[in-house]
């Protein structure tokens, strides 16, 4: 599981040994009776409370300048350099008993999660999808438990307000020009 404490959030998150995060990347698509801007704000608030950090305005501004119908925000977990460094520490600590001390936990796999919303007329569509970096020191879906919890919280929130029209899990996402797709994330942010 991802260790998320007041010190270990977002890019500073560390991962404890002996963890199992499952194989599901945890992406989701929801249709909600809500304004897309408010829907996106709620989704990002939940993601940040779950342990991610807001990625700033760069991606949102770039998507806006492209004239997209989507409003978008990215949140992040892990850091590429820290992940590499912590993987080396974890390697040397393995088998010594030290790997169970937080100081020796590896940095979380760098993950960028895109939350994108757009109007569908009477309702809005929200897509939340993770992109794991191959540049980090390890490749695991460390963000999966946090993302699953956040998606469940968002779904339950709108269901309790009787505003949820539909929800579905996304095991993959098409490169169809959506700001949540890998092709757009790679082209606009250079994320790999």
- Does residue 17 have a pLDDT over 70? no
Assess whether pLDDT exceeds 60 at residue 4.
no
Q: Is pLDDT above 70 for 56?
A: yes
Tokens 């978008």, residue located = 72
Architecture per CATH, 21-78+110-189: 2-Layer Sandwich (3.30)
| For the chain, percent of residues with pLDDT exceeding 70 | 68
Largest interatomic CA distance in the chain: 59
Which residues neighbour 67 within 8 Å (Cβ) at sequence distance 6 or greater?
A: none
38-45 average pLDDT score:
98
What is the reported pTM? Answer: 0.80
pLDDT surpassing 60 at residue 162: yes
pLDDT of residue 144: 82
Could you tell me the pLDDT band of residue 24, with boundaries at 50, 70 and 90? low
The pLDDT of 66-89, averaged and rounded, is 74
Stated as kind and residue range, the H or E segment containing 49 is: helix 36-49
Backbone angles phi, psi at 115, to 5 degrees: -115, 120
Residue position matching structure tokens 């590896």: 106
43-49 long-range contacts, CB within 8 A, separation 24+: 43/73, 43/115, 43/117, 43/126, 43/128, 43/150, 43/154, 44/73, 44/75, 44/115, 46/150, 46/153, 46/154, 46/157, 47/75, 47/113, 47/115, 47/128, 47/147, 47/150, 48/75, 49/150
Q: Give yes or no for residue 43 having a pLDDT over 90.
A: yes
pLDDT value of residue 142: 74
Residue 134, pLDDT score = 62
Band the pLDDT of 189: cuts 50, 70, 90. Answer: confident
Query: Which two tokens mark 28?
Result: 């989701």
Task: Please check the confidence at residue 94 and state whether its pLDDT lies above 80.
Answer: no
Model confidence at 90: pLDDT above 70: no
Rg (CA), the chain: 17
């Amino acid at each position: 599981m991802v260790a998320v404490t007041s010190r270990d959030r977002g890019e500073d998150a560390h991962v404890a040994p002996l963890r199992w995060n499952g194989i599901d990347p945890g992406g989701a698509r929801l249709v909600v009776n809500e304004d897309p801007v408010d829907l996106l704000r709620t989704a990002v608030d939940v993601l940040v409370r779950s342990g991610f950090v807001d990625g700033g305005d760069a991606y949102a501004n770039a998507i806006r300048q492209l004239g997209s119908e989507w409003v978008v925000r990215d949140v992040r977990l892990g850091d590429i350099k820290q992940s590499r460094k912590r993987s080396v520490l974890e390697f040397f600590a393995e088998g010594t008993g030290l790997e169970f001390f937080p100081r020796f936990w590896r940095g979380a796999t760098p993950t960028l999660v895109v939350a994108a919303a757009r109007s569908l007329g009477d309702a809005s569509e929200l897509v939340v999808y993770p992109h794991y970096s191959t540049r980090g020191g390890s490749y695991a879906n460390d963000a999966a438990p946090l993302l699953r919890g956040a998606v469940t919280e968002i779904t339950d929130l709108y269901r309790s307000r009787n505003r949820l029209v539909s929800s579905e899990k996304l095991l993959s996402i098409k490169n169809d020009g959506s700001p949540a797709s890998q092709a757009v994330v790679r082209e606009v942010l250079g994320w790999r």
